[in-house]
Amino acid sequence: MKFIRVTLIALVLICGLLWLNNTSAFVDASEGSGLKLIAHRGVHQQYVGVPRTNDTCRARNMAPREHDFIENTVPSITAAFAYGADVVEIDVHRTTDDVLVVFHDWTLECQTNGTGETKSKTFAELASLDLGYGFTEDGTTFPLRGTAVGAIPRLDALLETEFEGRLLVNFKSDRRSDGRHLATLLETGVGRDNVFAVYGGRNPTQAVIAETEDMRGYDRTSLKTCARDYLLLGWSGYIPSSCHNTLIGVPMDFAPLAWGWPHKFTKRMASVGTEVILWGPYDGSGFTSGINDAETFARVPDGFDGYVWTDVIEKIGPLAEERR
């Protein structure tokens, strides 16, 4: 009996120490820099329909149109910042004539009037396309056709544009040379202050991080490594090196599993130069889900001082402003 009693007391003490070391109850959340927003692809048309795959044509399953913005264009990005985004996520490919262009899809048939792989074209070929060509709600009418001819941006020109926030660059390829191309561009001083971070394909992402001073970013492998290491060691307050100077994204339904969630966790990560991104609930599809409605946004912890990822900045931006 004495052994059982001592064991129970020891367990209670251990649990108490774990709670004390990881609770946010005594953290003054008002000391944080405040909630910030990442607008996924700017202000854009929403997809509805069957669950997404890598082959899903988002333009062919457009939700009822509430505006005329098209993702990854200058008007879309400008509007996202006007709605309160601190960061806008953009997608990048490299053309055959070594121009980094801002466009989402691996191929052109879904969204545009072009054909073939994006990376197999010159910039001039891509610049002639209609980016609104394929968007339809009913498969019969195409209300955005002709509204975005020649609207595909060059990344270098975009980085020299004066926006009200910064850009998160998503490499759609896994070519290391794409990352080195961006690193060389930034080395000249073009737009370095406008790049928040990079992510996506492991090879180009790691190339930019290695070759650009103070650049942060993540790929699927580095994200999983940080999450695993922190779950194993974070209970002690130790932040493993895999979580230093990077970004860590957390689906909101898994977030409470992170040691110190929410405020002690974000402050621990900030102490090693890492930003926390809160995604929406994990939907099982393997794709990143945004915080896209008032009900989901209400689940963001009060005083949260990380980044909230959203696909509908035009709706979440005003809600965030009310909370600030």
Q: What is the pLDDT of residue 20?
A: 72
Q: What local confidence, expressed as pLDDT, does residue 6 receive?
A: 62
Q: Which residues contact 313 (CB under 8 A, 6 or more apart)?
A: 37, 39, 42, 43, 80, 83, 84, 85
- Ordered by where they begin, the domains of the chain are 31-323 (3.20.20.190)
Q: What does the alpha-carbon distance between residue 100 and residue 116 come to, in Å, rounded to a whole number?
A: 17
- pTM (2 decimals)? 0.94
The reported pLDDT for the residue numbered 190 is 80
| pLDDT score recorded for residue 221 | 97
Q: What is the pLDDT of residue 243?
A: 98
Q: What is the pLDDT of residue 98?
A: 96
pLDDT at position 31: 56
Q: How many CB atoms lie within 10 A of CB 209?
A: 22
Residues of the chain with pLDDT under 50: none
Helices (H) and strands (E) in the chain, counts: 10, 9
The predicted pLDDT at position 5 comes to: 73
Secondary structure (3-state) at 276: strand
